[in-house]
């Protein structure tokens, strides 16, 4: 069966195509694709940075990383020739718009950071009975840590069961079989594997005894 060779039949080729015959000669070496530069701040090509919301930061980056391009785009001459075609009112509007966009982006970044810094990772050591504990970990997602992958990491690290499930409040948390709360704190502090970016101050350990003592808080 494998010996059967398919012959390509040319059918219905357009008349013009016959004139151009594909050469069977040596294939020219593939050219390296032209590398396109993208701004490390806004991810646009640098000539489009001005349309992004972090133009000032973009310019700082370009000046550091590619001073030649920086002077090409933002030298006095370049700016003069560009602004020369704009009315004064248009220039002022552009400046104002840029400032507005930047203020908005800064506020957004601040809010995201604040939210992150106020997020708590709660590790609970729960006594199921005299000899059995489970450990739950809540809040890792606020630090962009994938819960399923983190559960896998715990499972293999402690050679035990670990899964993601909903806690009584309906929020996702990782449940690890065994008494590993303090080992997990250590892993977070040492940023093992996926467990990166949780400040020590944002980690809280709670012990939950089987016999509930009166909540004293
Ligand atoms: Zn940029």
Query: How far does the centroid of ligand 1 lie from the alpha carbon of residue 139, in Å?
Result: 33
Helices (H) and strands (E) in the chain, counts: 6, 5
Instruction: Looking at the structure, tell me whether residues 124 and 180 fall in a common domain.
Output: yes
Residue 3 lies in a domain: no
Alpha-carbon gap, residue 34 to 205, rounded angstroms: 52
Same domain, yes or no, for 133 and 56? no
Residue 2 inside a domain? The answer is no
Residue 7 within a domain = no
**What pLDDT shows up at residue 30?**
61
Residue 192 is inside which H or E element, if any? none
In a domain? residue 70: yes
Kindly state whether residue 87 falls inside one of the protein's structural domains.
Answer: yes
Q: Which range marks the domain in which residue 182 is found?
A: 119-208
Last residue of a domain, one of 102, 117, 132: 117
Shared-domain flag, residues 82 and 111: yes
Quote the ligand 1 centre to 49 CA distance (angstroms): 4
Q: How far is the CA of 106 from the centre of ligand 1 (A)?
A: 15
Say whether both 73 and 133 belong to one domain.
no
Assess whether 130 and 195 both reside in one domain.
yes
- Whole-structure pTM value: 0.51
d(CA 162, CA 175): 5
Determine the distance separating the centroid of ligand 1 and the alpha carbon of 46, expressed in angstroms: 5
CATH of the domain at 163: 3.30.780.10
Q: Please give the distance, rounded to the nearest whole angstrom, from the Cα atom of residue 118 to the centre of ligand 1.
A: 29
Contacts of 150 (CB under 8 A, 6+ apart): 137, 140, 174, 194, 195
In the reported structure, the alpha carbon of residue 134 is separated from the centroid of ligand 1 by a whole-number distance in angstroms of 48
Domain boundary among 63, 83, 117: 117
Give residue 50 CA to ligand 1 midpoint distance, Å. Answer: 7
The total number of structural domains in the chain stands at: 2
Q: Tell me, in angstroms, the distance from the centre of ligand 1 to residue 38's CA.
A: 8
**What pLDDT is stored for residue 172 in this prediction?**
93
17: in domain = no
In a shared domain, residues 175 and 165: yes
In a domain, 217, yes or no: no
How many CA atoms within 13 Å lie on the side-chain side of 5? 2
In this structure, are 124 and 204 located in the same domain? yes
Q: How far does residue 12's CA lie from ligand 1's centre (Å)?
A: 50
Residues 136, 81 within the same domain = no
Radius of gyration of the CA atoms of the chain, in A: 30
Rounded to the nearest whole angstrom, what is the distance from the C-alpha of residue 51 to the centroid of ligand 1?
8
Distance 57 CA to ligand 1 centre (A): 7
**64: helix, coil or strand?**
helix
Output the CA 169–ligand 1 centroid distance in Å: 42
Domain boundary among 117, 135, 157: 117
Copy the structure tokens of residue 130. 């005299």
Cα–Cα distance for residue pair 57/9, rounded to 1 Å: 59
Q: Residue 119: its pLDDT value, please? A: 87
pLDDT at 59: 93
Same structural domain, 63 and 133? no
Per-residue pLDDT at 19: 46
Instruction: Give residue 37 CA to ligand 1 midpoint distance, Å.
Output: 10
- Residue 72 CA to ligand 1 center (angstroms) comes to 15
Q: Is 78 part of any domain?
A: yes
Burial class (CB in 10 A: 0-12, 13-18, 19+), 19: exposed
Across 60-157, the runs of DSSP E, i.e. the strands, are 121-129, 132-138
Pair (141, 173) in one structural domain = yes
Which pLDDT belongs to residue 58? 94
Distances (CA, A) of 85 to 73, 77, 80, 95: 15, 13, 9, 15
Q: Do residues 199 and 126 both lie within one domain? A: yes
Contacts of 67 (CB under 8 A, 6+ apart): none
pLDDT in tens, the chain (217 residues): 444 444 444 444 444 444 445 555 565 666 666 678 999 999 999 988 988 888 889 999 999 999 999 998 888 888 777 777 777 788 888 888 888 888 888 888 888 878 877 889 999 999 888 889 999 999 999 999 999 999 999 999 999 999 999 988 888 999 999 999 999 999 999 999 999 999 999 999 999 886 654 444 4
Reported as a single tens digit per residue, the pLDDT across 41-54 is 999 999 889 888 88
Distance 61 CA to ligand 1 centre (A): 8
């Amino acid at each position: 069966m494998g010996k059967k060779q398919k012959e390509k039949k040319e059918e219905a080729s357009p008349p013009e195509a016959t004139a151009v015959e594909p050469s069977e000669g040596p294939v020219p070496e593939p050219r390296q694709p032209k590398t396109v530069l993208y701004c490390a701040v806004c991810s646009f090509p640098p000539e489009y940075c001005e349309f992004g919301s972090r133009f000032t930061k973009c310019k700082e980056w370009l000046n550091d990383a590619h001073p030649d391009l920086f002077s090409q785009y933002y030298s006095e001459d370049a700016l003069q020739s560009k602004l020369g075609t704009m009315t004064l009112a248009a220039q002022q509007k552009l400046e104002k718009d840029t400032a507005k966009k930047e203020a908005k982006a800064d506020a957004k970044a601040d809010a995201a950071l604040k939210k992150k810094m106020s997020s708590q990772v709660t590790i609970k050591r729960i006594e199921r009975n005299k000899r059995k504990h489970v450990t739950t970990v809540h809040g890792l997602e606020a630090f962009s840590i994938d819960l399923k992958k983190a559960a896998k990491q715990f499972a293999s690290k402690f050679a035990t069961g670990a899964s993601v499930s909903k806690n009584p409040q309906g929020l996702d948390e990782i449940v690890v079989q065994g008494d590993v709360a303090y080992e997990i704190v250590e892993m977070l502090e040492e940023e093992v594997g996926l467990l990166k970016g949780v400040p020590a101050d944002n980690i809280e350990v709670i012990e939950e005894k089987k016999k509930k003592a009166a909540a004293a808080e």
